[in-house]
C-alpha cells in the first residue's frame, strides 16, 4: 500500500533566502518575516549559491565555530473508556485543551502504550492487579515519541544511518487491534530531524528540520584553492574593525561567488531538497523529493543552510501532505486551528552583535494540507512553546532579548536588554501585525517560564532571584504588567491549579543567586497586583536533586490534588548513593505535603542490563555503577500510580506509594 504524497510548499530549506538578484544579501538580513515562493529550480539554485557563499564567509571572517567537514559526498561518489473500564485516568499533560502532544507514553485506561529507547511496549493496565506486558516490538532507531488513535499507534523514531540516508526520522504506523500482536502497516522515512508534533481531532501534524550538508567541494574552496584575503585579527580592538572586516569579506565574496555558483549548478536537486519514502512493510520503496522547486517558500532575507517541513498525516484516509520553507524552525506552538513555527535569527552564531529577532510563520490547519497564512516578527527569542498562546483571534508571544549564548555585552546596567510580551493579529493580507506590547520586563534577566490563562499571563525571569510577574492582556492593544513577586530560586514550569492559584516546579535558591535542590511552590495570584507564594516544599535532604519536569512538562502529572514527577537525587556521606524514582505530593491551595516515593532500583536488579543491550557495557555494570533506572513519567488510573522507567513500570497506590499492586518488566533477566 502506498499513498500518493502531495506537497504544499514551504520547504523549510534554510538554504539562504535571497532575492535572486545582483543586490546580494548576507545571513544578517533577517528583517522582513514574509515568505516568498520560488518561481523555478534556477531561482532556487541561485538562492542556494548565495546561502553557501555566506556560510563560507561566516566561517572564514565571522568567528565561525562550526564547520561541516562531514557533508554530503561529492557528485558521483547519502481518551477514551468503555463501560467496563476505569472511569478516571490521566492523559498527556498538554498546553492547549484538545491539542495532543507527542510523548513516550499514552493510555486509553485499559492499556498503556510505551515507546522509548528502541522499543514499543503494550501493557495491560486494567484491572490494575492484572497488569502485565502483552507485547514488545523492536523499533528501528531511537524513539522520539508516539501518538495513539483508537487501534492505531504512530511511532516516531530517529535513525543516524540508513542505506541511502545519512540521517533521518521514521514514522511507523502500527495496527494494535490485537494488543498481543502489533502489526506494522506503514513506514515513512524522512530526511531530517523531528522537532515536535501535535494531534488534533485524530490528524497528526509534525515539523521536520532538514540538515542540508554542503558538498565537500564547497568547503574545499577555503583550503587554499582560492587566494582569499587574510584578516589581521590583531586589529579587532581598533575603531575601524567592523569596516575593515566587511571590506575583507566583500573581497572574498567576489572571488568565491563564481566558484560556488558553478558547483551549485552541478548539484543534484536531492542535494538541495529533502527526500522521503513511503512504503508498506517488506517493500523497498524509493526516495522521492518532498517538494517541487516551485512549491517551496523562502524568507525575505538569507537564512542559514537548512530546511523545514510542516507535515500532516490523516490517519483515517492515510493521506500525507506537507508545507515547506527554506529555513530552520525550532519552536512549534499549535492551537486547535493554527500551527505556528518560530525561527530565531542567528540561532547558532550566538556571538553576533545584531539584535535578536524571532520570525513567526502561521499555518492554517483543518484542510487537506497545512496552508501558509501569514508571517510576523518580534524582537528577542522565544525560549519554548509556552512563550506562545492564541486567544480571541490574537497571538501572544513572550521573548527574551538577553543573548542566550553570551549574555549581555554592555557596560551600563540600565541598558541591559529585558523581556517582552507582544500581541499580534493576522491582518488576512499575509502579515502577523503587532497591535500591543509590553517591553523591558526585568532587564538583565531571561525568561524561565510563562503561562497564559485567558486574559492573564504569568512570567518567571531569573538572574539572582525569581521574579514572578502578572500581566493583564484583556486589552490587546494595551497589555500591562500589574504585579510582581521576588523570591529566591526560580520556577521553570507553571501549571494552572484551581481559580487564582498556580502550581510550580523549579529550583530552590538564596538571595545571592545560589541554587540548591528541587522545589515546588503554590502561588496565590487571586490579586494580580499582589502575587504571593503561599507554600514551598523543597527536596533538600540530598546533596543534589533534579527532575525531568524542570524541562519537560510531560513529566509533570497533576490530577485530583496529587502531583507526581520523576526525581533524581545524589547523596554522599562517605560513599555515593542515588535515588531515581517518582515523588508524589499532595498539592492544594492550602498546602504542599510529600505523600511518598517510588524507587525503581528493584526493576533494574531483575532486568537485563540495558547498558549492555544498547551500548555494549559489561552486564554487571548495571548492578555496580549504573544501577539506577531513568524514571520518566507517571500515569494515574483510578487511585493507582503507574510510574514508568526505561526498565518497566511499578504500579502502586496513589495515596500510599509503599503499597505495590504490580510490577511490569520490559526486559526481564533470564535466571
Edge-to-edge strand ranges of the sheet holding 640-645? 631-637, 640-645, 648-653, 656-665
Q: Does some domain include residue 595?
A: yes
Q: Identify the domain containing residue 125 by its residue range.
A: 100-185
Residue that is written with C-alpha cell 552486564 in the block: 619
Residue 607 inside a domain? The answer is yes
DSSP symbols for 254-321: HHHHHHHHHHHHHS-HHHHS-EEEEE-TT-----EESS-GGG-EEESS---S-EEEEEEEETTT--EE
Cell for 16? Answer: 539562504
pLDDT of residue 389: 98
Q: Is 663 part of a structural domain of the chain? A: yes
Query: Whole-angstrom distance between the N-terminal and C-terminal Cα of the chain?
Result: 43
Does the pLDDT of residue 249 top 50, yes or no?
A: yes
Q: If you write DSSP's letter for every residue of 544-591 in order, what string do you get?
A: EEE-GGGT-GGG-EEETTEEEEEEEEEEESSSEEEEEEEEEEEEETTE
Residue 201 in this model has a pLDDT that exceeds 80: yes
Distance of CA 657 to the CA centre of its chain: 32
- Reported as a pLDDT band with limits 50, 70 and 90, residue 413 is low
pLDDT digits (tens, 9 = 90+) for 533-577: 999 999 988 888 999 999 999 999 999 999 999 999 988 887 878
Evaluate whether residue 576 is within a structural domain: yes
Question: Among 393, 378, 387, which Cα is nearest to 337's?
Answer: 393
pLDDT at 187: 94
| Domains contained in the chain, number | 2
Q: What is the pLDDT of residue 626?
A: 54
Phi–psi pair at 94, nearest 5 degrees: -120, 165
Task: Say what the pLDDT of residue 466 is.
Answer: 82
Answer whether residue 223 is part of any domain.
no
* Nearest alpha-carbon partner for 270 in 201, 213, 313, 232: 213
Look at residues 119, 153, 185 and tell me which one is the last residue of a structural domain.
Answer: 185
| The last residue of a domain, from among 157, 185, 213 | 185
Domain boundary among 141, 167, 185: 185
Average pLDDT, the chain: 85
Residue 266 is assigned to a structural domain of this protein: no
In a domain, 648, yes or no: yes
Mean pLDDT, rounded, for 169-188 = 96
Which residue would you say has higher pLDDT here, 636 or 9? 636
pLDDT of residue 365: 93
Distance CA 68, CA 65 (A): 10
For 41-67, how does the pLDDT look when each residue is reduced to its tens digit (9 = 90+)? Answer: 888 888 888 888 888 888 888 644 333
601 vs 541, more confident: 601
Helix (H) or strand (E) holding 509, with range, is strand 501-509
35 closest CA partner among 434, 433, 374, 429: 374
Give the cell for residue 290.
518532498
pTM > 0.95: yes or no: no
Query: Could you say which DSSP state residue 19 is in?
Result: -
Q: Which residue has the higher pLDDT, 374 or 33?
A: 374
Contact assessment for residue 252 and residue 229, using Cβ atoms and an 8 Å cutoff: yes
Residue 1 lies in a domain: no
Higher pLDDT, 166 or 71: 166
Buried/exposed 572-598: b ≥16 CB within 10 Å, e otherwise: eeeeeebbbbbbbbebbbeebeebbbb
- pLDDT of residue 669 exceeding 60, the answer is yes
Q: What is the pLDDT of residue 266?
A: 87
Query: Of 664, 555, 668, which is closest to residue 123 (Cα–Cα)?
Result: 664
In the prediction, which pLDDT does 32 show?
62
Interhelix angle 241-266/41-61, nearest 10 degrees: 140
C-alpha cell at 271: 542535494
User: What is the tens place of the pLDDT at every residue in 69-123?
Assistant: 333 333 333 344 444 789 999 999 999 999 999 999 999 999 999 999 999 999 9
Amino acid at each position: 500500500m502506498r499513498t500518493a504524497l502531495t506537497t504544499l510548499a514551504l520547504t523549510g530549506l534554510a538554504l539562504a533566502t535571497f532575492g535572486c538578484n545582483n543586490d546580494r544579501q548576507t545571513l544578517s538580513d533577517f528583517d522582513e518575516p514574509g515568505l516568498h515562493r520560488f518561481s523555478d529550480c534556477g531561482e532556487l539554485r541561485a538562492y542556494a549559491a548565495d546561502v553557501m557563499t555566506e556560510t563560507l564567509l561566516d566561517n572564514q571572517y565571522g568567528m565561525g565555530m562550526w564547520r561541516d567537514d562531514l557533508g554530503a559526498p561529492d557528485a558521483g561518489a547519502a481518551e477514551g473508556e468503555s463501560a467496563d473500564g476505569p472511569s478516571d485516568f490521566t492523559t498527556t499533560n498538554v498546553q492547549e485543551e484538545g491539542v495532543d502532544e507527542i510523548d513516550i507514553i499514552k493510555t486509553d485506561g485499559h492499556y498503556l502504550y510505551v515507546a522509548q529507547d528502541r522499543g514499543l511496549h503494550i501493557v495491560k493496565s486494567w484491572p490494575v492487579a492484572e497488569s502485565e506486558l502483552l507485547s514488545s516490538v523492536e523499533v528501528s532507531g531511537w524513539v522520539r515519541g508516539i501518538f495513539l488513535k483508537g487501534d492505531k499507534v504512530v511511532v516516531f523514531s530517529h535513525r543516524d544511518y540508513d542505506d541511502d540516508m545519512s540521517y533521518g526520522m521514521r514514522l511507523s504506523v502500527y495496527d494494535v487491534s490485537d494488543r498481543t500482536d502489533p502489526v506494522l502497516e506503514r513506514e515513512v522515512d524522512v530526511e531530517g530531524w523531528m522537532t515536535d508534533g501535535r494531534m488534533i481531532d485524530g490528524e497528526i501534524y509534525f515539523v521536520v528540520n532538514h540538515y542540508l550538508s554542503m558538498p565537500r567541494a564547497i568547503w574545499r574552496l577555503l583550503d587554499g584553492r582560492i587566494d582569499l584575503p587574510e584578516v589581521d585579527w590583531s586589529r579587532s580592538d581598533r575603531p575601524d574593525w567592523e569596516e575593515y572586516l566587511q571590506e575583507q569579506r566583500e573581497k572574498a565574496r567576489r572571488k568565491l561567488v563564481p566558484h560556488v555558483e558553478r558547483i551549485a549548478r552541478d548539484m543534484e536537486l536531492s542535494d538541495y531538497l529533502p527526500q522521503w519514502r513511503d512504503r508498506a512493510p517488506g517493500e523497498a520503496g524509493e526516495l522521492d523529493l518532498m517538494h517541487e522547486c516551485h512549491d517551496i517558500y523562502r524568507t525575505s532575507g538569507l537564512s542559514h543552510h537548512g530546511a523545514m517541513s510542516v507535515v500532516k498525516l490523516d490517519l483515517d484516509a492515510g493521506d500525507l501532505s506537507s508545507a515547506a520553507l527554506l529555513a530552520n524552525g525550532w519552536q512549534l506552538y499549535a492551537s486547535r486551528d493554527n500551527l505556528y513555527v518560530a525561527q530565531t535569527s542567528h540561532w547558532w552564531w550566538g556571538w553576533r552583535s545584531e539584535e535578536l529577532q524571532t520570525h513567526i510563520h502561521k499555518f492554517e490547519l483543518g484542510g487537506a494540507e497545512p496552508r501558509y497564512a501569514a508571517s510576523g516578527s518580534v524582537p528577542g527569542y522565544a525560549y519554548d512553546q509556552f512563550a506562545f498562546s492564541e486567544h480571541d483571534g490574537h497571538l501572544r508571544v513572550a521573548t527574551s532579548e538577553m543573548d542566550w549564548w553570551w549574555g549581555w555585552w554592555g557596560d551600563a546596567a540600565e541598558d541591559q536588554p529585558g523581556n517582552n510580551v507582544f500581541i499580534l493579529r493576522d491582518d488576512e493580507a499575509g502579515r502577523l501585525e503587532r497591535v500591543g506590547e509590553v517591553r523591558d520586563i526585568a532587564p538583565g534577566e531571561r525568561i524561565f517560564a510563562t503561562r497564559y490563562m485567558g486574559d492573564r499571563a504569568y512570567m518567571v525571569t531569573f538572574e539572582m532571584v525569581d521574579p514572578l510577574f502578572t500581566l493583564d492582556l484583556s486589552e490587546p492593544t494595551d497589555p500591562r504588567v500589574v504585579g510582581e513577586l521576588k523570591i529566591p530560586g526560580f520556577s521553570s514550569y507553571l501549571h494552572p491549579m484551581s481559580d487564582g492559584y498556580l502550581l510550580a516546579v523549579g529550583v530552590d535558591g538564596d538571595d545571592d543567586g545560589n541554587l540548591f535542590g528541587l522545589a515546588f511552590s503554590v502561588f496565590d495570584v487571586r490579586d494580580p497586583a499582589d502575587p504571593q507564594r503561599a507554600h514551598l516544599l523543597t527536596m533538600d535532604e540530598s546533596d543534589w536533586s533534579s527532575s525531568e519536569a524542570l524541562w519537560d512538562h510531560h513529566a509533570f502529572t497533576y490530577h485530583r490534588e496529587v502531583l507526581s514527577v520523576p526525581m533524581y537525587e545524589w547523596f554522599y556521606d562517605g560513599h555515593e548513593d542515588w535515588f531515581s524514582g517518582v515523588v508524589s505530593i499532595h498539592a492544594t491551595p492550602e498546602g504542599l505535603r510529600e505523600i511518598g516515593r517510588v524507587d525503581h532500583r528493584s526493576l533494574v536488579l531483575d532486568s537485563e542490563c540495558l547498558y549492555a543491550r544498547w551500548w555494549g557495557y559489561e552486564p554487571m555494570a548495571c548492578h555496580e555503577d549504573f544501577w539506577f533506572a531513568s524514571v520518566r513519567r507517571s500515569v494515574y488510573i483510578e487511585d493507582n500510580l503507574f510510574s514508568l522507567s526505561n526498565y518497566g513500570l511499578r504500579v502502586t497506590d496513589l495515596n500510599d506509594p509503599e503499597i505495590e499492586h504490580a510490577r511490569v518488566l520490559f526486559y526481564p533477566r533470564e535466571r
